[in-house]
Amino acid sequence: MVDRLKGKTAVVFGAGSSGQGWGNGRAAAVLYAREGAQVACIDLSKQAARETADIIVGEGGNAIALFADVTELASIERAVRQIREAFGPISVLHNNVGMTHMGGPVELEESCFAQAVDVNLGSVYRTAKAVIPQMLEAGGGAIINISSLAAIRWAGYPYFAYYATKAAVNQATSAIAIQYASQGIRANCIMPGMVDTPMIYTQISSQYASSEEMVEARNRALPGGKMGDAWDVAYAALFLASDEAKFINGICLPVDGGQSVTMAVPR
């Protein structure tokens, strides 16, 4: 490690994991800490956030675990105040919260569509609203939003709300990037493709006869024949958060093993 984030404070919303193993948020939080950042691990589940923070502290890093509901601005603002008291101004904002509801516009309940908008897109709005003033005061910062390849491609699943909200995250990221570029804030997003994380077993596996069938189908859809993992996404996030990416702003980066340049979907 080369301490790419030494002296910086990173906050990861969605830093827990939705099951056993490494989710994208947990891997990013741990990697940020390994590269020298103080990390605020935030999740709707305080226990999940604590598990991530414990990993960081166990490795000799500095981390705190906090609860926040990304659908409530007051909850986010309370967490941001706690981070400032513990670590000072936030340098890196990482948004990892997301959810899926299966169904096209005909099948999807309006309440489910509204929830997807509130969580997937609303989280980007609310966290930016709470954190950007600190970044402006400190002279800059980096924002990384986790979108999805589904923002620009049919992913093989009938989840209309997910497609729509992740596409909106891409454009929201671009809007933030350009508005605040002259004030030292960069905003980029990552579009993971087929990655093997705990979330797919809870939110995607219902589309298959078994989890084994799901894994086989997703592997087959990739040029290299194997899904990526949370660390592939985390290393991309680390680069975008670091000063090495100081001239990169407003991009939507596929981390997908080349899937976005093919026409393959899992079958």
CATH number of residue 59's parent domain: 3.40.50.720
Q: What is the pLDDT of residue 1?
A: 58
Q: What is the pLDDT of residue 203?
A: 86
Please, is 149 exposed, middle or buried when counting C-beta atoms within 10 Å of its C-beta (0-12, 13-18, 19+)?
buried
Tell whether 1 is covered by a domain.
no
Q: Is 162 a catalytic residue?
A: yes
What does the pLDDT read at residue 21? 83
As for how many domains the chain has, the answer is 1
Specify if 236 maps to a domain. yes
Summarize the chain as % helix, strand, coil (round to 5): 50, 15, 35
pLDDT for position 165: 98
Three-state SS for 250? coil
Rounded CA gap, 57 and 34, in Å? 10
The domain in which residue 190 lies consists of 9-200+230-254
Whether 96 is in a domain gets the answer yes
120 found inside a domain: yes
- Write down the pTM of the prediction: 0.94
Per-residue pLDDT of the chain (267 residues; tens, 9 = 90+): 579 999 999 999 999 987 778 999 999 999 999 999 999 999 999 999 999 999 999 999 999 999 999 999 999 999 999 999 999 999 999 999 999 999 999 999 999 999 999 999 999 999 999 999 999 999 999 999 999 999 999 988 999 999 999 999 999 999 999 999 999 999 999 999 999 988 888 888 889 989 999 999 899 989 999 999 999 999 999 999 999 999 999 999 999 999 999 877 777
Q: For residue 212, give the 3-state DSSP assignment.
A: helix
Q: Which residues pair with 142 in a beta bridge?
A: 92, 186
Return the pLDDT at 233.
Answer: 98
Residue 154 lies in a domain: yes
210 assigned to some structural domain: no
Query: Which entry of 159, 162, 163, 180 is annotated as an active-site residue?
Result: 162
234 is written with which tokens?
A: 């985390």
Evaluate whether residue 184 is within a structural domain.
yes
The angle at the Cα of 75, spanning 98 to 65, to the nearest 5 degrees, equals 75
pLDDT at 186: 98
Asked if residue 49 belongs to a domain, the reply is: yes
